[in-house]
Amino acid sequence: MNPLFLMIPLVALQTPDAPIPDVEAKDLPAAPRGPMVPKARDMGAEHGITGALRRGARSGPSIPALQLPAGNVRVKDKIPDMSGWRAYAIEVPAGGSVKAHVVEGRKAWFRVLGVNEWGRDEPGLLQNRIYLGEPQATYKNPNPEARTVYFIVDTQDANMVGEPFTLEVTRG
């Protein structure tokens, strides 16, 4: 018997993926804490008063974060202030993985950083070291317990206050 005939019923029984729910950022709760400011280079740094304001807004000890819900979600948000970034906290179960990807907005003007609570890389975090125009980062939890990681949507221009974007968060 040809094995191809055995596969046809499996293909016919597959159901399409459920659509990912959209959530407005204003409806998300604040996370208990945000990450420390990462040591990443500020891609939107510039000279002058705008650059000074941005550096001042980024000089705090930590970044306020929004708590992402369990499951896959598309967050519709905008850059809230002069700092040019927005942080999201997500809990990843042991052995689980998650991907954060800016899918709408001026994608080339954003980047996504994945960090731990100290604003640093750790095993399991993977992000675009060579920027290819796809603002995304992933995390695969190698630990035996659940971990909270943070995804920071960062701008690459100094004057992007109010710039809308959609962040798609999918779990693997």
Most confident of 51-65, 92-106, 116-130: 92-106
Query: Tell me, what's the pLDDT at 46?
Result: 79
Q: Which of 5-9, 51-55, 109-113, 121-125 has the lowest mean pLDDT?
A: 5-9
| pLDDT at residue 82 greater than cutoff 90 | no
Q: How far apart are CA 125 and CA 84, in angstroms?
A: 22
Query: Tell me, what's the pLDDT at 91?
Result: 95
Sheet with 65-67, edge to edge strand ranges: 65-67, 85-92, 147-155, 110-115
All structural domains of the chain: 20-171 (2.60.120.380)
Q: The pTM is what?
A: 0.85
Q: How far apart are CA 131 and CA 128, in angstroms?
A: 6
